[in-house]
Copies of this chain bind each other. A is one copy, B any other.
Amino acid sequence: MHDPSLRQLRTFLFVVQTGGVTTAAQALGLTQPAASQQLRELERAMGVRLLERVSGRSVPTAAGRALIEPARRAQAAVEDARAVAAAHRSGEAGRVRLGTGATACIHLLPPVLAELNERMPGLEVIIATGNTPDILRRVEEGDLDAALVTLPAALGRSLTATRVATDPLVALLPEAMAPSGRPSLTAADLERLPLILYETGANTRAIIDAWFRRAGLAPRPIMELGSVEAIKVLVAGGRGCSVLPALALGGDVAGAVVRPLRPALARQLAVVLRKEKVVDRGLGRLRAALKGAGGQPG
């Protein structure tokens, strides 16, 4: 027994509704024999008579009446499928699964997501957090659509990164420690102060270490922490000073002052996705919003 086709069920429903094969046929935009053949084929596939011709009208049999409801359900389901696809095609709907590698990225996302929600309300954004290698692996496997990480990152050959933002690193000092008359601080300046830095191994910490290294110095932090919030609290409490991404500060920190570095230091934020990834509208919008939110893509 063959499966009934959607078209056959549709024609059947139209016949039941209009009460005639001819009317149903022209409502469906095809000729009467075509509709007749579909009905015959449907009856053959189901092994049951579905329609009776009675006094000029076509009336469903018992089996036909029983078939109406599931046939309607099938039609509705396919219609839903089409609607869903249309929503995705037009960009009204969509889903983007984004992984963020560093915790600092969390400070960048909220305004981005707010803007995204405003410009594309139907887009569903799923944020997954984790360490950078894990996030990148999930992107490679297709479990995530994109990742927002700080460069440099160990990208596989199947991944590609596009810079979306430059996040300057700045010095954060307690008001008491801030050298007066100096708008910006050098590595030598900081090296003389008690430092509270990111934990070793984090990407941002590696960038900071390289900056010190370029000045021929090596930072000797009195504390290393994995949480930027904890560092901020400690600096505000006068325990030491730190070098933090400007984005992570989110504005002023009470009891602490922000000073730029000299030479300027910044980390690169990039969106990483698979090379073959087709950028649909939702992903494109997310990437655009990230680009716009994070300063110059440098």
Contacts and interface: CB of A to CB of B under 8 A. Distances in A.
Given A49-B278, A278-B52, A57 B95 contact: no
A85 B55 contact: no
Interface string A55-70: 1010101110111001
Nearest to A61: B280
A133 interface: no
A213 interface: no
A86 B80 CA distance: 27
A102 interface: no
Contact of A80 (B54, B70, B82, B87): B70
Contacts of A73: 73, 76-77, 80
A45 to B, nearest CB: 8
Interface residues of A, number: 55
A274 interface: yes
A142 to B, nearest CB: 4
Contacts of A67: 81, 84-85
A101 interface: no
Given A62-B95, A67-B81, A82-B4, A140 B55 contact: yes
B5 A5 contact: yes
Most central of A1, A57, A80, A124 by chain B CB within 10 Å = A80
A73 B94 CA distance: 21
Nearest to A124: B62
A252 interface: no
B66 A88 contact: yes
Closest 7 CB pairs of A and B: A54-B142, A74-B77, A73-B77, A63-B88, A46-B85, A62-B95, A70-B81
14 contacts: A1-B82, A5-B5, A5-B6, A52-B276, A54-B141, A54-B276, A55-B140, A55-B142, A63-B280, A66-B85, A70-B84, A73-B73, A73-B76, A74-B78
Contacts of A74: 6, 74, 77-78, 81
A46 to B, nearest CB: 4
A119 interface: no
A158 interface: yes
A93 interface: yes
A47 B278 CA distance: 14
